[in-house]
A and B are shown apart, each in its own frame.
Chain A
Amino acid sequence: MTASRRTRGAVRGLAVLVVAVFGPSGPTVAADEYIVVQSTTSAEHSGLFDSILPVFREETGIEVRVVAVGTGQAIKNAANGDGDVLLVHDRQAEEQFVADGHGVSRADVMYNDFVVVGPPGDPAGVAAMADVLAAFRKIAASGAPFASRGDDSGTHKAELRLWREAGIDAAAASGGWYRETGAGMGATLNTAIGLGAYVMADRATWVSFGNRRDYRIMVEGDPRLFNQYGIILVNADRHPNVKARLGETFVNWVLSTEGQAAIASYRVDGRQVFFPNAMKQP
Chain B
Amino acid sequence: MGSFMGSLGEAAGLIMALDADLLEIIGLSLRVTLTAVAAACLIGLPLGAVVGALRFPGRSLAGLVLNALMGLPPVVVGLMVYMMLSATGPLGPLGLLYTPTAMIIAQTILVTPIVAALTRQVVEDLHTDYAEQFASLEVRPFDRVVALLWDARLSLLTVALAGFGRAVAEVGAVIIVGGNINHVTRVMTTTIALETSKGNLEFALALGVVLLVIALVVNGAVMTFRASAARMTYA
Contacts and interface: CB of A to CB of B under 8 A. Distances in A.
Q: Do chains A and B touch in the complex (CB under 8 A)?
A: yes
Given A45-B194, A50-B182, A209-B198, A241 B86 contact: no
A65 B181 contact: yes
B34 A210 contact: no
Interface string B89-105: 10011010110100000
B208 to A, nearest CB: 15
A10 interface: yes
Contact of B93 (A4, A45, A241): A241
Interface stretch (A136-144, A153-161, A185-193): A185-193
B221 interface: yes
Contacts of B203: 210
Interface string A3-40: 11011001101100110111000111010000010000
Interface in A48-65: 50, 65
A17 B221 CA distance: 10
A66 interface: yes
Contacts of A21: 27, 30-31, 34
A190 to B, nearest CB: 7
A7 B225 contact: yes
Contacts of B179: 36, 65, 67
A6 B228 contact: yes
Nearest to A239: B87
A224 interface: no
Interface residues of B, number: 40
Nearest to B85: A82
B87 A80 contact: yes
A212 to B, nearest CB: 7
Contacts of A14: 221-222, 225
A3 B31 contact: no
B197 interface: yes
Interface string B172-209: 00000001111110000000001011111101000000
A112 interface: no
A186 B27 contact: no
B199 A68 contact: no
B189 to A, nearest CB: 15
Contact of B28 (A3, A17, A27, A210): A27
Contact of B86 (A4, A80, A211): A80
A35 B124 CA distance: 50
- The interface size bin for chain A is 35 or more
Contacts of B222: 14
A66 B183 CA distance: 10
A30 B27 CA distance: 15
A28 B198 contact: no
Nearest to A13: B221
B36 to A, nearest CB: 12
Nearest to B87: A81
Contact of B184 (A11, A28, A212): A28
Contacts of B93: 241
A65 B181 CA distance: 6
Contacts of A66: 181-182
B61 interface: no
B231 interface: yes
Contacts of B30: 17, 21
Given A11-B225, A13-B221, A28-B184, A4 B198 contact: no
Contact of B180 (A68, A77, A239): A68
Given A7-B228, A10-B225, A241-B93, A67 B31 contact: no
A130 to B, nearest CB: 27
Interface of A: 3-4, 6-7, 10-11, 13-14, 17-18, 20-22, 26-28, 30, 36, 41, 45, 50, 65-68, 77, 80-82, 184-187, 189-190, 208-212, 239, 241
24 contacts: A3-B232, A6-B228, A10-B225, A14-B225, A21-B30, A22-B35, A27-B31, A28-B184, A65-B184, A80-B86, A80-B89, A81-B87, A82-B87, A184-B197, A186-B197, A186-B199, A189-B199, A190-B197, A190-B199, A210-B198, A210-B200, A211-B200, A212-B199, A241-B95
Which 7 residue pairs across A and B have the least CB separation, nearest first?
Answer: A186-B197, A81-B87, A211-B199, A67-B179, A210-B199, A10-B225, A7-B228
